[in-house]
Amino acid sequence: MAQAQTTHAATEAHGGAHEDVGFPPFKTETYGGQILWLTITFAALYVLLSKLVLPRLSGIIEHRRTTIASDLDEAAAMKSRAEEAGTAYEKALSEARARAQALAQETRAKVSAETEAKRKELEADLAKRLAEAEAVIATKKAEAMANVRGIAVETASAIVERLTGKAPPPQAVEAAIDQTQA
């Protein structure tokens, strides 16, 4: 029984034996106060948000909007400058190619002209040497041909002498050789 008295004493200490304890917002006796405090809290939060927070947020948003717009304008300007630089680069590159081709053509023509001049000089030198060599050959041939007649006369005389045992007269050998050449 001592235990029952302890439980009963603990229950009485908390406010009575069997009071109906419910969730306070659901109690109809306190609706008026709850609505009043809800209205006051809502109004205070509304004023706080509309006067302090929302102006700051709209200022931040507007600042971001202008920053983004200026960044986009700057990016467009940079893109334009980059395109102009690219166009200038392409123009300079094409001019450099044209100059390089002109220089190569000029060098080719110059080298070709020098080669042609050297070739003509060599051909002239070779023609001169050839003419000199032909003149020397003609001279040697004439000398040789002059000696051939004498050699032919001597050889024919030697052959006739060997065959017949007596030397023929030189005028007869020369007449016979002239007759064979004609």
Distance CA 33, CA 22 (A): 17
Q: Which contiguous run of DSSP H or E holds residue 179?
A: helix 170-181
Residue linked to tokens 């001597």: 154
Predicted pLDDT at 105: 94
Task: Name the residue with higher pLDDT: 15 or 61.
Answer: 61
Predicted pLDDT at 151: 81
pLDDT tier, 5 (very low <50, low <70, confident <90, very high otherwise): low
Q: Is the distance from CB of 152 to CB of 179 less than 8 angstroms?
A: no
Statement: residue 4 has pLDDT above 70: no
Q: Render the burial of 73-83: b for 16+ CB within 10 Å, e for the rest.
A: eeeeeeeeeee
Task: Name the residue type at position 68.
Answer: I
Q: Is the distance from CB of 173 to CB of 153 less than 8 angstroms?
A: yes
Q: Where are the domains of the chain?
A: 34-181
